[in-house]
Amino acid sequence: MNKIEVRERRIVKNLEAAGRRELILKAAVTQGLLHPEEALVAAFIDLDGVRENVAALHREFSANSRVLHAFAAKANCLVPVLAALNGLGMGCEVASEGELAQALAAGFSPDRIVFDSPAKTGRELRQSLLLGVAINADNFQEIERISELLSTSPSLSKIGIRINPQVGVGGIEAMSTAGATSKFGVALADEGSRARLFEAYREYPWLTRVHAHVGSQGCPLALIADGISRVVDFADEVNRRLGRQQITAIDIGGGLPVDFESDSLESGFGPYVQELKRAVPALFNGQYEIVTEFGRTILAKFGFIAAHVEYTKVSGGRRIAITHAGAQVATRTVFMPEAWPIRIGAHDGLGRTKQGTPVAQDVAGPCCFAGDLIARNRLLPPLEQGDIITLLDTGAYYFSTPFNYNSLLDPGVYGANIDAEGSVRFTTLRRPQNISELLERTGLDDLPEALTLALTAAASSTLP
């Protein structure tokens, strides 16, 4: 590493998260990526931070040479983002035909893609088996379907079964997948399930993996480790009873909680691995390949949304800032504010952090329903017309899959790199949607046929 690279690494590392965001935001305003008329809202990913975070993940699991870290595409399915993660040595976990196409377009080789979904179609299974994509079957009916397909066309795919260890739910029940009645996987503790699972592995030697995903945000490490421990115990039992190591890989899913309350960029991979080593030492004895499926933990802390404040008002004594970031980019926060509160930054029109005594105010979005609020009664420096707000820790699950309410345009998404002098270079990850693209998506090309059908139907109807 030369002196310039060492210096750049030191500056990137020492610059705090808030300082990096402000550099990126001010550069975005200067370069016109955020504009009060032409670009009302935009999103940004700190690519330097992502690189450091992925490196930390690899380091924590480095003691086991057989590990595939498959990024959960649902967390951010933008093809350039996936391509960047591919370049950082990650694999990709997908859960639909669309996500599979995005992963392939991003350059992931099929043998580094894992297909998880509770509702895989015959076509999706045929395509995955043809390509050699790994598959985690969700239920016994899917196992039978795969068996039928393999009987006519052998495959290089590595195939496993998703198991629900039924260890309970975390603080956000909707994000927990290991409750007694979860829709995911085969319930391990239900009467007869364990015996039936063993028979499946005995009957189908091509079943060489087992998969579990305990939950996500709100699930404590001990709960996640308990679920993984039960799955490893099951794998050990299958191999012991069969007298051979049929199960060679354990997919432990993702779900590591993210710190949404501070600017800390530590993703918690170290404590997570230490908890697994304490609770499930057999996972690290070299007998099994490990597959992970982190999504939110990889990107959330390294992305933010910026939006202009269009108007401010007072209603019933409450200050309200009307902004251009609402349910269309922060859907979970708007509809589940208690489970998904979001940190908000206040900036002037040039992107500089606002000062001033914080006052309670609502931060509202542009969507035409009363509940489109990003924050209620939040203490912030007084927001004024022309200011900019930032929605923090939104690199996953926010701007990458927008909610098309009111036909609001999808915002542009930009990757940011900061050099040794503090200059910001942007890469377009998704260009802003324009009106022509919106009209095309909402059926403009089908308009003549639709009008003909409507007129024909009207002419054939009889008015009273």
Contact by Cβ (8 Å): 442, 43: no
Cα dihedral across residues 335, 341, 347, 348: positive or negative: positive
Cα dihedral across residues 265, 271, 273, 279: positive or negative: negative
DSSP type of residue 410:
P
Q: What is the per-residue pLDDT across 146-202, written as a single tens digit (0 to 9) for each?
A: 999 999 999 999 999 999 886 655 555 554 455 555 677 898 888 898 999 999 999
This prediction has a pTM of 0.90
For residue 77, the SS3 value is: coil
Q: What is the per-residue pLDDT across 50-104, written as a single tens digit (0 to 9) for each?
A: 999 999 999 999 987 799 999 999 999 999 999 999 999 999 999 999 999 999 9
Q: CA separation (Å) from 235 to 63, 107, 133?
A: 21, 32, 22
Q: Which two tokens stand for residue 263?
A: 């600017």
Ordered domains of the chain (ranges, CATH): 3-45+300-399+410-437 (2.40.37.10), 61-294 (3.20.20.10)
Q: What is the mean pLDDT of residues 234-254?
A: 95
Q: What is the per-residue pLDDT across 311-355, written as a single tens digit (0 to 9) for each?
A: 999 999 999 999 999 999 999 999 999 988 999 999 999 999 999
DSSP type of residue 444:
G
Instruction: Please give the biggest Cα pair distance in the chain.
Output: 86
CA distance 264 to 276: 23
In this structure, the number of other CB atoms found within 10 A of the CB of residue 48 comes to 21
